[in-house]
Amino acid sequence: MRVIFRVDASEKIGNGHFYRCLSLAEGLIERGAETQFICKDLDRNLNDLLKDKSIPVLSLINTKKKSELNNESYADWLGISQKEDAEETICALQGSKPDYLIVDHYALDAKWEGQIKKHVKRLILIDDLAEKQHLCDIVINQGYFSAKEDYLKLIPENCQLLLGPDYVLLSAAYKQALKKMVVRQGKLEHLLIFFTAGDDNGETLKALKGLSQGFKFSHVDVVVGKNNYDSDDIKNICIHQGWQFHCQIDYMAELILEADLVIGSAGANSWERCVLGAPALVTIMADNQQANATALEKMNAIVCIGDYKSTSPETYRNALLKINNNKLQAMSSSAGKLIDTNGVDRICDYLLSDMKH
C-alpha cells in the first residue's frame, strides 16, 4: 500500500495537522505501507523531522514572501491558488497513482480535489471544520462534536465518514504511557504548561507571569516548539523560577502523565491530555477550537478560560486560584473516560480493509 500525505506546517498554520498525519503515517509504516509527504517549504516548517524519521518528503517551493502569508484567511495560508497547488502536487506524484492521498489542509477543498482525484486511487480528507465542499472518498474528523449531518451537503453521496474521538490520531507514545497511568489524587504540585509547537501568540509568557504571582509548586514543566518567538524570555523565566524548560521534544506523553494539571490550548492536544486523564485549564487559540472546548467543558474534562485575545497573566492566576482538589479529581476522571489510544489502529485497519474491496 502506497500512501501520500499533503500537509503543511509553519509558524502561521501551526503544527497540529502535521503531527496527526505523522502519527497515522507511522501506524501505516508499521503495517508495511510505503509513505511519503508533500509539504511546502514554508517558514519554520517541520520537513526535517520527516527526514530524521527516514520518511520521504518532497518540498514544494514557497513562492510567497512571509509578509504575504500573514493573513487570517485559510486560503492565504496556501500562498498560491488551489489550481496551482494541485498542479504542483500532481507533478510531485511523478506519474504514479498512490493507493491513498491523504490531505489535511484548511486551504484546500473541492476545487483542489477535483483536479487530484483522477491521479490517485482514493482521496482522504482529515478535517475538523465541516464547512467546505469536498470531493473525497473518505473523511476523518476526530472532533467530539462531529456528526454525519454536518457533512451531508458537503461531500459525495458515497463518501465514507470516520467521525468522532474513536478516530483520534495519537502517536504510539500515548499507548505506552497509558500503561503507566495511575489514578490522580487531586493534588496540585506538578504543573505542565504547553500551548502549541508553533507560534503561541504570547500565551506561554502570559501563563508563566500569572503563575509567578505567589504560587509554589514542587515541579513545573514548560514546553515550547522551536518556532516560539518568546523562547528566550520563557527560558529566562524558567531559570529564575527553577522550572524545567523543554523545547521541541518527543516525550510529551511522559510529561502529561506526570502532571497534576496542564495549562494549554483547546486544540488537538486536548485529546493527548484526555487519554491520560490530565485535568486542564485551556485557552481557545483559534476559532475552530471553540466547539471542542465547549463540549469538553460540558463533560467536566477541562476548564476553559476564554479566547487568547482576551487573556492576561491575571486571567491565568485567577483561574488557578479557583482549582481545588475535588475539581482536579473530577476533571481527571471525566477526561480519562472520553477516548482511548486506538484511533490510529482503527483507521489503519479500515484502510487495509478498504483496499481489498
Give 349 or 48, the one with higher predicted confidence.
349
Partners of 103 in the beta sheet? 6, 125
Mean pLDDT over residues 331-337, rounded?
A: 95
Mark whether 185 and 165 lie in a shared domain: no
Q: What percent of the chain has pLDDT over 90?
A: 75
pLDDT of residue 64: 56
User: What is the domain count for the chain?
Assistant: 2
Least confident of 21-30, 142-151, 188-197, 259-268: 142-151
Mean pLDDT over residues 121-146, rounded?
A: 92
pLDDT of residue 63: 62
Q: What is d(CA 152, CA 268) in angstroms, rounded to the nearest whole number?
A: 24
Q: What is d(CA 14, CA 8) in angstroms, rounded to the nearest whole number?
A: 9
Mark whether 242 and 317 lie in a shared domain: yes
184: CATH: 3.40.50.2000
Mark whether 21 and 150 lie in a shared domain: yes
Query: What is the residue-wise DSSP string for 31-84?
Result: TT-EEEEEEE--TT--HHHHHHTT--EEEEP--S-GGGG--SSHHHHHSS-HHH
Please give the mean pLDDT across all residues of the chain.
91
Mark whether 210 and 329 lie in a shared domain: yes
pLDDT of residue 175: 94
147: CATH: 3.40.50.11190
CA distances from 281 to 6, 233, 250, 286 (A): 32, 22, 22, 16
Mark whether 115 and 213 lie in a shared domain: no
Give 108 or 228, the one with higher predicted confidence.
108
Mark whether 182 and 164 lie in a shared domain: no
Looking only at the bridges linking them, the beta strands covering 57-60 and 34-40 are parallel
Mean pLDDT over residues 299-321, rounded?
A: 96
Query: Cβ-count burial of 111 within 10 angstroms (0-12 exposed, 13-18 middle, 19+ buried)?
Result: middle
* Under 8 Å between Cβ of 148 and 157: no
List of residues 6+ apart from 298 with CB closer than 8 A: none
Buried b (16+ CB within 10 A) or exposed e, 87-107: ebbeebbeeeebbbbbbbbbb
Mean pLDDT over residues 168-182, rounded?
A: 94
pLDDT of residue 288: 80
* Under 8 Å between Cβ of 311 and 203: yes
Confidence of residue 354 (pLDDT cuts 50, 70, 90): confident
Mark whether 328 and 223 lie in a shared domain: yes
pLDDT of residue 83: 95
Mark whether 120 and 246 lie in a shared domain: no
Confidence of residue 333 (pLDDT cuts 50, 70, 90): very high
The cell numbers describing 97, all together, are 497513482
- Nearest CA to 331 among 282, 269, 290? 282
* Under 8 Å between Cβ of 347 and 168: no
* Under 8 Å between Cβ of 58 and 26: no
Mark whether 83 and 98 lie in a shared domain: yes
pLDDT of residue 163: 94
Partners of 356 in the beta sheet? none
Say if residue 67's pLDDT is above 60. Answer: no
Mark whether 122 and 10 lie in a shared domain: yes
Confidence of residue 327 (pLDDT cuts 50, 70, 90): very high
Mean pLDDT over residues 117-124, rounded?
A: 97
Q: What is d(CA 318, CA 299) in angstroms, rounded to the nearest whole number?
A: 22
Partners of 268 in the beta sheet? none
Least confident of 15-19, 71-75, 250-254: 71-75
Say if residue 71's pLDDT is above 50. Answer: no
pLDDT of residue 70: 46
Alpha helices in 223-289 (DSSP H): 231-241, 252-258, 269-275
Q: What percent of the chain has pLDDT over 70?
A: 95
Mean pLDDT over residues 161-185, rounded?
A: 93
Mark whether 285 and 346 lie in a shared domain: no
* Under 8 Å between Cβ of 263 and 192: yes
pLDDT of residue 157: 94
Mark whether 41 and 95 lie in a shared domain: yes
Range of the domain at 51: 2-170+341-355
